[in-house]
Amino acid sequence: MPIQICVPKEVRQHEQRVALVPDTVKRLATEELLINIQSGAGELVGYTDADYENATIVGDSGELLGKADITLMVNPATSEQIEQLKDGSVLIGYMDPHADLQRFNKLKNKNISAFSMELIPRISRAQSMDALSSQASIAGYKAVLLAANILGKFFPMLTTAAGTIRPSKVLVIGAGVAGLQAIATARRLGAIVEAYDVRAATREQVESLGAKFVDIGIKADGDGGYARELSEEEKQQQQEILAKHVAAADVIITTAAIPGRTSPRIISTEMVEGMRGGSVIVDIAAEDGGNCELTKAAETVLHQGVKIYGPVNVPSMVGNHASEMYSKNLLNFLELLIQDGAINIDLEDEIISGSLITHAGAIHHAGIEEQLSKGAS
């Protein structure tokens, strides 16, 4: 029997992405793999049902999910979608593994093998499957364009009949994948760029992109390439040194995040009040609390002349390329999961085991099992 791979239409409000694009479907579709796409799944990024010529188009979500051996999604499945999944099937997508943990009990009870794209290990062999990085890169790029749109100034230096216009100064906070892409994009637009990160290892990357690295004398490299949490004394030192750089910036892009935790608060209200009127902060950590004390998710806050914008689901704003990149991440993961025409959940494989949350009627992920045992919701 061929494996039925199904892609439902995303139901999250304002979501534009689709899990598989037509080019990826073309590469996947074989006698052993049958691809089913819900009608309209790709329309918000420009793909009509006719573009999915190598797939079967299914109108009803329940019918689609009920026959899926493997379901591919962008956003976490809703309770209704979980109920529609075929018992014993495979679910792959973003799972938001640190929130609404009771979803995983529902998946466990239906014997679903659920893989979280956020939990793909950060190892060399898994780079081509790393959806967090591919989508973060898009977020960093788009954040700069959002800032340029809000800012009432040019980014580059311009020589005009009215005189020379000085370039804008951009400060990027957090030099992970999103931050580095933000640096590169702001530089392409002609801005003078500074960047800050508590991880000393990022300095070389920042400087290689032509930005100045803001060194505050704290080294906080943590596990998995992320920063460790700062002590209260370190936080105070951080704010004191950063304040002058914040005050000098026309634009600040904040990208600092720690998986499973509230985003670190780096920019205080007092620091915002030290900025020039007309300056802009784009806080792409807004969904997890924000790096700025004044950030409100999905809103623009005006505080003493400074605009603080907290966009949500930023990769979806570049829906076409975000879908293309995510689709390739899924393709590479499927090539690992499907061996000789059969689904092979090899628990000895670091990538498979590391991203697997529920399997064989149990919670496989130790961290989530521990949280559930403590009564977390």
Residues known to be catalytic: 122, 127, 130, 133, 226
Q: For the beta carbon of residue 370, count every other beta carbon within 10 angstroms.
A: 11
Assess contact for 3 and 67: CB atoms under 8 A: no
Quick one: which of 253, 252, 256 has its CA closest to 235? 256
Rounded Cα distance between 31 and 120, Å, is 28
CB under 8 Å to 143, separation ≥6 — which residues? 178, 182, 253, 255, 282, 284, 311, 314
Q: Is 96 helix (H, G, I), strand (E, B) or coil?
A: coil
Quick one: which of 143, 156, 170, 96 has its CA closest to 317? 143
Strands (E), 73-181: 90-93, 113-116, 158-160, 163-165, 169-173
Residue with tokens 């364009």: 145
Strands (E), 251-347: 251-254, 280-283, 300-303, 306-309, 338-339, 342-343
The two beta strands, 300-303 and 338-339, are: unpaired
